[in-house]
Structure 1
Amino acid sequence: MIRTLFMWLGAMLLGASVAHAEPVTLDGTEQWTMQSAQGREYRIMISLPEGDVPYTGGYPVIYLLDGNAYFPAFHAAKRAQKRLRGSILVAIGYPSDTPLDFVRRAFDLSPPAPPARNDPPQGGQDLFLDFIEKRLMPKVAEHFKVDQDQRSLVGHSFGGMFGVYTLFTRPTLFQHVVAVSPSLWWQDRYLLEPERAFNKRAYAGQLNLTHSSLTLLMGERDLVQAIQDARALQERLQDLSQYGLRSDFQIEPGEDHMSVPFRVPTRVLDELISARRF
């Protein structure tokens, strides 16, 4: 009887505990809801800067794609070490309870697709870039002191592909791009055309790449072809070092396509924050 009573009381207490449970809140963060010009809603997660404003007059800002999936890991890595805290992490996500919203990201991060392949809808990369450049960046600058010479973009898979596209088509938008396991093979390597246009402008002296960088970071267990494509891209871009573009190719041992973005946050943040413009 006593044992039964204790079991009943325990169940009641457990039930009361669960009934009053609340979502976990990450310290040092805030969240915004924003819309694009077309009315698409975004969930913006901010890892707030800590400490005094740097001598540059503003905090470096790191924009992170697929924020629902990767913001917690990058935020934790940023707060774990003092040297990383004096920066702003802006993660762009969606009003969804799934880590990766495949329908939304398929549109935002991709080029236009032939009708036969346009399911789910694709082709929103320029609209998404407009949202980042014309809506999100100005709002971040309104709320924080921002170092305009220290803006970075980090993306994985489709997000990495989008980062490379951004470098090629809007090279002044970010000083540094980190493409983690980028999908360079997408649509028969469609990025080759904007790459050629980018190279042409660079060799013609039309671009200031003095403080620009691209890091291609692959998992050791990524597809062999994907690793080869990334290495080949970095090799093709090496000649642009004479115009200031720094390019790098790295392999993370033991990691595959889906595990690598959770393995590298500290290294990525450290590289981006230490790559100051002097």
Structure 2
Amino acid sequence: MSSIKELSYPHQGCEEYVITAGERKLEYRILLSHPSGEAPPEGYPVIYALDGNAVFHTLAEAARLQTRKPHGFDPVVIVAIGYPSGEAFDMTRRCYDFTIPVLEQTLPKRPDGSNWPEHGGADSFLDVLQDEIMPLISSLFPVDGSRQALFGHSLGGLFVLHALFTRPELFTHYAAGSPSVWWGDYSVLAEQERFSADYPLRQLQRKLLITIGAKELDHMVEDAEKLPLLLEPLAEWGLQVNLAKFAEERHVSVLPAALSRLLKFALT
């Protein structure tokens, strides 16, 4: 990692790191919410959340409330990964980091008619997670290697699927919110086919949560509902897949419900 800068953060129990990472030496904003209690003997579970500028406060507060004793979940480290722009959804950066390489002609026209930002950097971003961000967190907290979760929404949900299908050893819990399965004429489903053929040989126990708002675009809902069916044969080989469909919620309004369900999924 080329550089790390620790910054103060205006909320108790939270702090911010700015890192310069990866081959391109890009800047990332790492928002941390500290656990509210002592680490279990095996260490803290960790939840890594993409689009950190959008989700950090909601997720950190939900974790604070849901880990209260005596009936709460175990204390958890929340790691939200954002960008220096401070935008809730930095389309230029996330489009590169969260997507797999595809031909331009396989992408739909954007609503405003503009060209798609540079895309196809998902593997590079996975390297940043694996080689730089996760070791940083392990240097700051004792972590439980059996409870490491990754959450992403929309294009971030696509990235979570890509991570599961190509590096299932990296995390134990994968949570894909409203995943953009349509990206590049459903290129991620080719990865799913290879994953399904290979997974029985890996001897892994993994969990996948898919969340979707019932009032999102019809094809988004259909794609989310199709994924558990495609992956169902892997249940006997240790892959547990759950779908959470939230009534009355749309593509953005579903986020708070998905983040709350994420905690139960990652910490139960």
1:40 matched to 2:26: yes
State how far apart, in whole Å, the 2-side matches of 1:32 and 1:70 are.
Answer: 16
1:256 alignment partner in structure 2: 250
State how far apart, in whole Å, the 2-side matches of 1:102 and 1:240 are.
Answer: 34
Q: Pick one of 203, 206, 223 that aligns with 1:208.
A: 203
1:52 alignment partner in structure 2: 38
Q: Pick one of 118, 125, 129 that aligns with 2:126.
A: 129
List 4+ stretches of structure 1 deviating above 6 A.
none
Contact 1:43 1:93 in 2 (8 A): yes
Question: Where is the strand percentage greater, Structure 1 or Structure 2?
Answer: 2
Question: Which one-letter code corresponds to 1:170 in the other structure?
Answer: R
1:241 matched to 2:235: yes
Q: 1:36-185, aligned counterparts within 5 Å?
A: 36-37=21-22, 38-56=24-42, 58-81=43-66, 82=68, 83-84=72-73, 86-114=75-103, 119-185=116-182
Task: Single out whichever of 84-93 and 37-46 deviates more from structure 2.
Answer: 84-93
State how far apart, in whole Å, the 2-side matches of 1:50 and 1:76 are.
Answer: 11
State how far apart, in whole Å, the 2-side matches of 1:36 and 1:259 are.
Answer: 32
1:4 alignment partner in structure 2: none
Contact 2:17 2:31 in 1 (8 A): yes
1:228 alignment partner in structure 2: 222
User: Normalized against structure 2, the TM-score is what?
Assistant: 0.88
Identity of aligned residues (%): 37
Contact 1:78 1:85 in 2 (8 A): no
Secondary structure of the structure 2 residue equivalent to 1:97:
coil
Question: Where is the helix percentage greater, Structure 1 or Structure 2?
Answer: 1
State how far apart, in whole Å, the 2-side matches of 1:181 and 1:115 are.
Answer: 22
Task: Single out whichever of 29-38 and 262-271 deviates more from structure 2.
Answer: 262-271
- The alpha-carbon deviation at position 24 of structure 1 amounts to 8.2
**Unmatched segments (≥5 aa) in structure 1:** 1-22
- The alpha-carbon deviation at position 84 of structure 1 amounts to 4.1
State how far apart, in whole Å, the 2-side matches of 1:192 and 1:246 are.
Answer: 18
The number of equivalent residue pairs is: 248
1:267 alignment partner in structure 2: 261
